[in-house]
Amino acid sequence: MAGVSNCMKYSMFVFNFLFWVCGSVILGVSIWIRVSKDAQKELGIDNSLFAGVDLLIAVGSIIMVLGFLGCCGAIKESRCMLLLFFIGLLLILILQVTGGILGAVYRSQIETSLNTTLMESVDLLQSNTEQAKRFQETFQKFQIENKCCGLVNGLADWGNKINTDIGGSKICECEPKGEEANLCVYSNKILVYKRGCKEVIIKYLQDHMLIIMGIAFGLAVIEILGLGFSMSLYCQIQRK
């Protein structure tokens, strides 16, 4: 009877141990951000971003569980654990591929959803709550760095806060100096940036789509290798 390849077994163990460590780091950092008010303030995390943090907690937990199953399944030569690892990884791969297909098919609906999110953010620009003020300060920095104004309707998105100072400078204020002069336009008798920040956000997403696709492809390759190794090890243990 053929034995179990030690090279494959320990390679599987090392790979999944690193996998488990990554999951632990993601889970630990996500929980820290979720429960620490200081971390939320430092990173600019508000209630609107908690869903993303909760998603990271779920992802970290799943990676930890899969890493544990892969490690123990390899080192203990447990067919049950290896099978659970294989099924879990296969489900993630299926969800990943399904998400990519749905993203391509329902691209227009995703853009509509983005517009809805931006419109909700416009309400924050005009609100006077503490959460809104924190968002306004963060967005003002974004406007200055990217030389843009407003989210959907330019300066009008700020409502009656048009002449307000936030973070030491007036909202959307554009300095007509050098190359920046071409970026300025008069609105309500104020010289402001003519480009809306919605354009900047969409361009950013488009520019980084290739990176996201590359990461997704790389993860898919790793997942397929993990599926192959785990099933190969499972078969070797079964034949032992």
Residues of the chain with pLDDT under 50: 1
Enclosing domain of residue 184: 112-200
- Per-residue pLDDT reduced to its tens digit, 37-47: 777 776 666 66
Please tell me the total count of domains within the chain.
2
On whether both 82 and 170 belong to a single domain, the answer is: no
| C-alpha distances out from residue 210 to 94, 108, 113, 198, 206, Å | 21, 18, 21, 20, 8
Q: Is the dihedral of CA 44, 49, 54, 55 positive or negative?
A: negative
On whether both 135 and 220 belong to a single domain, the answer is: no
On whether both 101 and 125 belong to a single domain, the answer is: no
On whether both 231 and 189 belong to a single domain, the answer is: no
Q: Give the model's pLDDT for residue 1.
A: 43
- Per-residue pLDDT reduced to its tens digit, 168-188: 677 888 877 766 667 788 777
On whether both 11 and 84 belong to a single domain, the answer is: yes
Whether 154 maps to a domain, the answer reads: yes
- Name the pTM for this structure: 0.61
Q: Give the model's pLDDT for residue 189.
A: 73
Q: Give the model's pLDDT for residue 60.
A: 85
Using a 10 angstrom Cβ sphere, with 0-12 exposed, 13-18 middle and 19 or more buried, the burial of residue 210 is exposed
Which ranges constitute the DSSP H helices of the chain? 6-35, 37-43, 50-75, 79-105, 107-126, 130-146, 197-239
On whether both 92 and 168 belong to a single domain, the answer is: no
